[in-house]
Amino acid sequence: VQLQASGGGLVQAGGSLRLSCAASGRAFGDYAMGWFRQAPGKEREFVSAISQNAITYYADSVKDRFTISRDNAKNTVYLRMNSLKPEDTAVYYCAADQTLKYIRSGTNDYWGQGTLVTVSS
C-alpha cells in the first residue's frame, strides 16, 4: 500500500491543523492506520492509531487534543490536531499495517512520507 500524507504547515500555538493520509494499492479497510512524529534530534514516536473497526488509541501527550479518524470510502485517515503546542513541532508520518499491534510498536509494514508541522510560540 502507498501512503501520501499532507496538511502540515506553520501554525501558532493554540491553533489547529488537520493532517490527511491517502492510501492506494490495497483494500484500505483491511488496514489499521496510524500517525507517528519525529521532532528534530529526537526519535520517532507513536502519536495515534485507528483499527480497522475504528477503535482509536493515543499517546498521552496528545490525548484530548488530537483526534484520529478514517474514511474508508475515500481511503483516507485524518489527524485533527487542536490546541497545538510548540512541542508538537515535528515531521508527522502516517503508517499502515494489517495488524494493529505493529503500528502501536512502530514495526508496521508501510510508511508514508512525512509532512512537517511547525508550531510557533
Whether the Cβ atoms of residue 66 and residue 79 lie closer than 8 Å to each other = yes
Residues 6+ apart with CB under 8 A from 22: 3, 4, 6, 74, 75, 76
The pairing of beta strand 115-120 with beta strand 90-97? antiparallel
Whether the Cβ atoms of residue 94 and residue 6 lie closer than 8 Å to each other = no
Written as tens digits, the pLDDT of the chain (121 aa) is: 999 999 999 999 999 999 999 999 779 999 999 999 999 999 999 999 999 999 999 999 999 999 999 999 999 999 999 999 999 999 999 999 999 999 989 899 899 999 999 999 9
Q: What are the two backbone dihedrals, phi and then psi, of residue 28, each rounded to the nearest 5 degrees? A: -55, -40
pLDDT of residue 25: 76
Centre a 10 Å sphere on the Cβ of residue 119 and count the other Cβ atoms it contains.
20
pLDDT one-digit tens code per residue, 55-71: 999 999 999 999 999 99
